[in-house]
């Protein structure tokens, strides 16, 4: 048999062998799924994915085997995982946790409403045993008086307290003086914020000037940068009445278009004409006192006037003591001057005498200043005493206090 015939026979055998093997595989597959069923074709993508995933599965198995066999690697992995968790917790705490810095509103310092009006906390009293607080404050406005009906108050506690829900009661006492009474204020509230809303009739001019001059820096401007720009543009948009006429004159008029745009924002400004009084629990603890269970506007005013008179009398007493000390100092200084003038051997006596005389002049000026303040103290003490007399005679009418408002809680 020739070589060509042998090659041909071998190739036929190989071909038959492959065909037989394929037929066997097909028969095996057909035994399970039937003849070329649809499921056969559906499994093709799955088989393809298995081939792609298999290398990664082998890697995982290898890593698992090494991890189980190597105790050192196991301990190191656990330690690394713990460190990662700790660092992640710290980072997330920085990202998702807000920190709050709370500062109490200073006593006797004006705080501004959005329209430029001001409020000033005059004094505080915290009766911890009675779970109550009293805040006396006064207001000021360019028109002089803020009507008690135009002022309302609500408040927020940082922490929720135990027992009854705390309430706030705004009481108008006299003129621009008000008192806030807070009841059911149990400890651990941490801080409170009183939101005062001022509904006094104000024009767009009032708000525009206050915003432009930053005379309402304690108030939050409740609008976007676009709205704020509209207000500021209006404030700066005054024209001369003679513009475009060729006439002389400096009379300013409002730009009509700017006024219309700004005036549309007036309702938002009025609604948010607020200022806040913030007090930490520590601050109230520094002003402990006794608050009676029933405090009427009349009694609060009487107590306030008596306290003011006592403060003025105490101030007068201190100033008189300082004046007396200054007069003694002048007498001693004058003796030193006389001694220097009689000392003919002291070549610097003239300069020393000059300095001492200047000291006497400054001391006398200080005495005059204190005497002027004493006169003012006496004048105010007399006014307050007259008010007490009018109250006693029933010649002053007090406004009815507003209905108590329940507290909201921050936490």
The residue range of the domain holding 50 is 3-96
Contact present, 122 and 137 (Cβ < 8 Å): yes
Confidence of residue 10 (pLDDT cuts 50, 70, 90): very low
pLDDT of residue 11: 45
Could you give the strand order of the β-sheet that contains 118-127, starting from the edge strand earlier in sequence?
Answer: 110-112, 118-127, 132-140, 177-183, 167-174, 405-406
Mean pLDDT of 188-200: 91
Is pLDDT at 333 greater than 50 in this prediction? Answer: yes
pLDDT of residue 246: 55
- Would 178 be classed as within a structural domain? no
pLDDT of residue 279: 92
Averaged pLDDT score across all residues of the chain: 76
- Would 373 be classed as within a structural domain? yes
pLDDT of residue 126: 92
Of 51-55, 373-377, 392-396, give the lowest mean pLDDT range.
51-55
Of 50-54, 357-361, 367-371, 398-402, give the lowest mean pLDDT range.
398-402
Confidence of residue 283 (pLDDT cuts 50, 70, 90): very high
pLDDT above 70: percentage of residues in the chain: 72
Is pLDDT at 245 greater than 60 in this prediction? Answer: no
- Would 274 be classed as within a structural domain? no
Confidence of residue 398 (pLDDT cuts 50, 70, 90): low
Is pLDDT at 97 greater than 60 in this prediction? Answer: no
- Would 228 be classed as within a structural domain? no
- Would 153 be classed as within a structural domain? no
Distances 60 to 53, 63, 67 between C-alpha atoms, Å: 11, 5, 10
How is residue 390 written in tokens? Answer: 């009018």
pLDDT of residue 280: 92
Is pLDDT at 159 greater than 90 in this prediction? Answer: no
Domain endpoint, select from 96, 119, 140: 96
Is pLDDT at 403 greater than 80 in this prediction? Answer: no
Domain endpoint, select from 96, 130, 161: 96
Is pLDDT at 242 greater than 80 in this prediction? Answer: no
Distances 202 to 114, 154, 286, 382 between C-alpha atoms, Å: 10, 22, 37, 35
Contact present, 238 and 250 (Cβ < 8 Å): no
The more confidently predicted of residues 63 and 165 is: 165
Is pLDDT at 4 greater than 60 in this prediction? Answer: no
Is pLDDT at 68 greater than 80 in this prediction? Answer: no
CA distance 144 to 165: 36
- Would 241 be classed as within a structural domain? no
- Would 359 be classed as within a structural domain? yes
- Would 289 be classed as within a structural domain? no
pTM for this structure?
0.57
Contact present, 197 and 155 (Cβ < 8 Å): no
Domain count, the chain: 2
């Amino acid at each position: 048999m020739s070589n060509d015939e042998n090659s041909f026979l071998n190739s036929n055998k190989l071909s038959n062998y492959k065909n037989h093997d394929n037929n066997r595989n097909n028969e095996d597959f057909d035994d399970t799924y039937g003849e070329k069923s649809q499921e056969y074709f559906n499994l093709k993508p799955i088989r393809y994915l298995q081939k792609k995933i298999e290398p990664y599965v082998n890697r995982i198995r290898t890593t698992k085997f090494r991890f189980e066999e190597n105790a050192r690697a196991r301990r190191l992995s656990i330690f690394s995982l713990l460190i990662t968790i700790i660092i992640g917790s710290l980072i997330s705490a920085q990202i998702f946790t807000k920190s709050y810095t709370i500062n109490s509103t200073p006593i006797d310092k004006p705080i501004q409403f959005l329209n430029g009006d001001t409020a000033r906390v005059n004094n505080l009293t915290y009766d911890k045993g009675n779970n109550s607080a009293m805040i006396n404050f006064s207001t000021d406005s360019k028109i002089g008086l803020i009507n008690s009906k135009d002022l309302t108050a609500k408040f927020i506690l940082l922490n929720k307290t135990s027992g009854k829900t705390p309430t706030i009661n705004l009481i108008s006492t006299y003129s621009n003086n008000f008192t806030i009474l807070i009841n059911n204020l149990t400890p651990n509230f941490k801080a409170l914020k009183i939101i005062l809303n001022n509904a006094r009739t104000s024009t767009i001019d009032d708000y525009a000037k206050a915003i432009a001059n930053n005379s309402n820096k304690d108030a939050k401007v409740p609008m976007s940068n676009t709205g704020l720009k509209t207000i500021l543009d209006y404030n700066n948009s005054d024209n001369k009445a003679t513009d475009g006429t060729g006439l002389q004159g400096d009379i300013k008029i409002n730009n009509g278009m700017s006024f219309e745009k700004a005036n549309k924002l007036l309702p938002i400004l009025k609604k948010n004409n607020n200022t806040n009084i913030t007090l930490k629990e520590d601050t109230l603890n520094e002003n402990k006192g006794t608050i009676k269970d029933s405090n009427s506007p009349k009694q609060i005013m009487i107590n306030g006037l008596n306290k003011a008179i006592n403060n003025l009398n105490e101030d007068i007493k201190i100033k008189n003591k300082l004046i007396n000390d200054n007069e003694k100092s002048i007498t001693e200084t004058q003796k030193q001057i006389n001694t220097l003038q009689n000392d003919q051997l002291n070549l610097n006596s003239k300069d020393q005498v000059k300095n001492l005389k200047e000291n006497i002049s400054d001391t006398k000026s200080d005495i005059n200043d204190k005497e002027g303040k004493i006169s003012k103290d006496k004048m105010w003490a007399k006014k307050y005493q007259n008010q007490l007399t009018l109250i006693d005679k029933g010649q002053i009418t007090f406004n009815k206090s507003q209905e108590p408002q329940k507290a909201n809680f921050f936490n």
